[in-house]
């Protein structure tokens, strides 16, 4: 059956459509959109039964989701996701499947098995990050930090190690940097120091910390440029972003890594250092 002319023909178009329509979708379809945006590789290579189980919805809901975007069914929508990885090697796709299908066992010893799974998942995550189009936005982020009078950094809970590292690394460049850590309940007071000559790097992952969202809101009110590092286009702090850096870290047994995020953090700091060295 032919695809409706209004249906997105490739992943980029479908991704844009999901983000644009996200707030208007029903709760169930919004749940599917969130999963699809966060796990596009799964959507490209897995069966409808597997996706239904992982997204915690019924297969019929996935079909309804596909039809809401103009497709005749799930398989037709899946082809749009497959355009994202069409040029990648078969070995890459096989590694993705192997990591997703592998189980933690005691055959090699629990610790060895866990370490192997974590390493494999991180390798795949880093491969996907390196092959993404994030480099253009990374360059824009470095431009903002380089031009800013002061760089403020905020991140809470799981995001805090990334924020702390960025602040530490930038302190070794020529960038004046402050970590908004909220010690003593002083987060709001710390954020009050931001001005329109500064830049804020905000890191937030699901479940998104309300403290970070509040700082981002204040930054927007003050005309501060905001660089957002997060895991989804539908993160609540994305609308305020001057530059948006999407990072999907590996996840094993609900434990999420920070390997990709730390790589992005290091890239920002190292880029500034290299730029400074060329100017001297």
CA 80 to chain CA centroid, nearest Å: 20
Q: What pLDDT does 2 receive?
A: 46
What is the token pair recorded at 220?
A: 């927007």
**Rg of the Cα atoms in the chain:** 20
Do 167 and 199 form a contact (C-beta atoms < 8 A)? Answer: no
What is the token pair recorded at 45?
A: 């290579």
Q: What pLDDT does 249 receive?
A: 87
DSSP 8-state symbol, 237: T
User: CATH says 11-82 is which class?
Assistant: mainly alpha
Q: What pLDDT does 59 receive?
A: 94
**Bridge partners of residue 155, in order along the sequence:** 203
Q: What pLDDT does 94 receive?
A: 53
250 CB burial (10 A radius; 0-12, 13-18, 19+):
buried
Concatenated DSSP letters of 242-267: SEEEE----EETTEEP-HHHHHHHHH
DSSP 8-state symbol, 131: T
Give the predicted TM-score (pTM) of the model: 0.80
Fold assignment, 134-279: Rossmann fold (3.40.50)
Q: What pLDDT does 101 receive?
A: 56
First vs last C-alpha separation in the chain? 63
pLDDT one digit per residue (tens) for the chain, 280 residues: 445 667 888 888 999 999 989 989 999 999 999 999 888 888 988 899 999 999 999 999 999 999 999 999 999 999 998 887 765 555 555 555 555 555 656 566 778 888 888 888 888 889 888 888 898 899 999 999 999 999 999 999 999 999 999 999 999 987 899 999 988 888 889 889 999 999 999 999 988 899 999 999 999 999 999 999 998 888 889 999 999 999 988 877 778 889 999 999 999 999 999 888 877 6
Q: What pLDDT does 100 receive?
A: 56
Contacts for 123 with CB less than 8 Å, ≥ 6 apart: 95
Q: What pLDDT does 91 receive?
A: 52
Q: What pLDDT does 1 receive?
A: 46
C-alpha distances (whole Å) from 88 to each of 33, 48, 127, 128, 129 are 24, 22, 11, 10, 13
């Amino acid at each position: 059956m032919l695809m409706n002319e209004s249906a997105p023909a490739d992943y980029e178009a479908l991704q844009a459509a999901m983000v644009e329509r996200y707030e208007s979708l029903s709760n169930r379809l919004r749940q599917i959109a969130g999963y699809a945006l966060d796990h596009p590789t799964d959507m490209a290579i897995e069966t409808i039964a597997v996706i239904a189980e992982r997204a915690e919805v019924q297969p019929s809901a996935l079909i309804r989701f596909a039809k809401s975007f103009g497709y005749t069914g799930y398989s037709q929508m899946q082809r749009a996701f497959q355009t994202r990885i069409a040029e990648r090697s078969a070995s890459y796709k096989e590694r993705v499947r192997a990591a997703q299908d592998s189980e933690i066992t005691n055959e090699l010893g629990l610790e060895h098995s866990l370490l192997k799974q974590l390493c494999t998942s991180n390798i795949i995550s880093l491969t996907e990050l390196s092959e993404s189009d994030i480099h253009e936005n990374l360059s824009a982020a470095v431009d903002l930090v380089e031009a800013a009078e002061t760089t403020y950094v905020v991140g809470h809970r799981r995001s805090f190690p990334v924020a702390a590292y960025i602040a530490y690394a930038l302190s070794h460049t020529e960038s004046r940097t402050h970590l908004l850590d909220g010690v003593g309940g002083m987060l709001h007071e710390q954020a009050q120091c931001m001005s329109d000559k500064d830049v804020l790097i905000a890191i937030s992952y699901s479940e998104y910390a309300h403290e970070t969202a509040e700082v981002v809101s204040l930054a927007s009110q003050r005309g501060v440029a905001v660089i957002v590092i997060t895991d989804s286009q539908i993160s609540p702090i994305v609308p305020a972003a001057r530059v948006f850096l999407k990072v999907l870290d590996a996840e094993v047994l609900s434990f999420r890594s920070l390997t990709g995020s730390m790589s992005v953090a290091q890239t920002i700091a190292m880029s500034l250092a290299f730029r400074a060295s060329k100017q001297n």
